[in-house]
Structure 1
Amino acid sequence: MMHANTTVDIAVTATDLIRAGLLEIGNGCRIHPSAVFIPVDMLGTLRPIVLGARVVVGAFAVVHGGARVGADAHLGHRAIVGEPEYGYAMRQVYQGVGDATTIGAGAVVRAGATIYAGVRVGDDTTIGHHTLLRTNVVVGSGSQLAANLTVERGTRIGDGVRCSPGSHLTADTRVADRVFLGAGVRTVNDKQLIWRDPDHEQPLDPPVFEYGCKVGSGAVLLAGITVGARALVGAGSVVTQNVPADAVVYGVPARQHGQVKP
């Protein structure tokens, strides 16, 4: 028996959405029959979905309202684009509100990736298998984000950035153009490690990666750290102090051991 306050989603086809002005499909698109388009968020707000010319949408991919996918972009099997944030996260409760979500022209979102509402991915950028981009992340053009990354809310990633698999970028991290991050890099943005205690929480203090710096696999960067332009951080280092531009640092804790050669 169905209770009076129970709701059931009614199946709506892509054709229905096109007729309602909620789905626009450009010329030459290839969309798998199992792909799902959800133009309404959890509060009932409708937002149109726009697919540019020659977009590919894989099997069981889910595209939410507000998504705008540029020409020649590729959404892999089971990719999710424009997911509304819901529940407690990063010091607030989200209500499932949708937002504009942009996937640039020629971008590739590989199988299993999840991209939340409000994210912007630049042209010709690749998002790896099972990588997660949380609300309001921005990724520039021509960047490569590998598999199994977690990029938390509000992070800004520049152009031509390379991130290897399995790394974690904490909320509000700043990654400038041409930065290289190795596999399994870990970042921290909270010096007090206080969770869900609004009377004692301090402002977040995420790390900053300046232009062209390189961070080796397995490195850990504590809150408030800046890695200077073109600096090199050795694999497995624990970075507890700012790294000057062009410095070579490594160790636990990391210490300077020279300069990057021109």
Structure 2
Amino acid sequence: MNSIEMNAAELSAAGLLHSEDGVKISRYAIFIPYDERGVCRPVTIHANAVVEAFTVIHGGSVIGGGATVETQVIVGKPEFGYAVGHSYAGSGATTTIGEGSVVRSGAVIYAAVDIGAEVLVGHHTLLRSAVKVGANSQLGHNLTVERATWIGREVRCSPGSHITSSTRVEDRVFLGAGVRTINDKTLTWRHPYRTPELLPPRFEEGARVGTGCVVLGGVTVGRDALVGASSLVTRDIPPGVVAYGHPARVVGQVTQ
């Protein structure tokens, strides 16, 4: 069933496209209303939103007023197959792109992602299932955000970074380019007798992490802390301090 592809006119004729005034949808946009389990979901596009050519929109997608989805973007893709201790059945879900948000060309957004208002998603960025992004955040290009990660408001995630599954990134956090996060200290994937015990890192409100840092599983970077570029963060960083090094150590206090 998931192979059924429609253009906007066909989707509307089937009663599966709910669009408001001022919406612009390219005739080359593709809609796939059925998921891998054969469940059909409508697509909703609010006033003045734009959907460009060769974009693929899956059933259950909701595009907010004034939002722009650029060419060759995938929205609402169901998760299918095995990944780290769990098999996904290809179920669709409501996937939301908030009012005034912009999704740049080549981005891939999986099902159950919730993007707030006025968010920018960069070129070729990947958001896996159930990721949440707060309003006015900016996600740079070539960024990977794994499943169930929570990103707050006014967050900046710079290009080329990897945010591991279930990470919590609170409001006003700044992550530099090429930041790597880890949630599995044992590197378990297809172990026959045990499932992975994942322990993601946490970035508290206002924390700043420099370019090229590696942050290990279970580590908390405290509120308003500053971690210098290329640091290896192996333990918690207290609120309001400056830290850097291999491993990162506290070297002072953040001054306003």
Structure-1-length-normalised TM-score: 0.95
**Displacement, 1:26?**
1.4
Deviates more, 1:202-211 or 1:173-182: 202-211
Q: 1:31 to 1:229 in 2, by over 3 A?
A: same
SS where residue 17 of structure 1 aligns?
Answer: helix
Q: 1:198 to 1:118 in 2, by over 3 A?
A: farther
Q: 1:13 to 1:185 in 2, by over 3 A?
A: closer
Matches within 5 A, 1:57-206: 57-197=51-191, 199-206=193-200
CA contact (8 A) 2:170 2:206 kept: yes
Whether 1:38 aligns to 2:32 is yes
Unaligned runs of 5+ in 2: none
Deviates more, 1:89-98 or 1:125-134: 89-98
Q: Distance in 2 between matches of 1:43 and 1:202?
A: 27
Deviation digits for residues 10-57 of structure 1, max 9, x if unmatched?
A: 654422321322111211111111110111111110000000011111
Which residue identity does 1:115 align to in structure 2? I
Deviates more, 1:122-131 or 1:28-37: 28-37
SS where residue 12 of structure 2 aligns?
Answer: helix
Q: 1:67 to 1:253 in 2, by over 3 A?
A: same
Which residue identity does 1:250 align to in structure 2? Y
CA contact (8 A) 2:34 2:58 kept: yes
Q: Distance in 2 between matches of 1:91 and 1:234?
A: 34
Unaligned runs of 5+ in 1: 1-6
Q: Distance in 2 between matches of 1:50 and 1:117?
A: 14
CA contact (8 A) 2:69 2:102 kept: yes
**Displacement, 1:202?**
4.3
Q: Distance in 2 between matches of 1:185 and 1:8?
A: 36
Q: Distance in 2 between matches of 1:8 and 1:222?
A: 38
Q: 1:198 to 1:207 in 2, by over 3 A?
A: farther
**Displacement, 1:8?**
9.9
Q: 1:223 to 1:141 in 2, by over 3 A?
A: same
State the superposition RMSD in angstroms: 1.4
Matches within 5 A, 1:209-248: 209-248=203-242
Aligned length: 256
Percent identical residues: 54
SS where residue 88 of structure 2 aligns?
Answer: strand
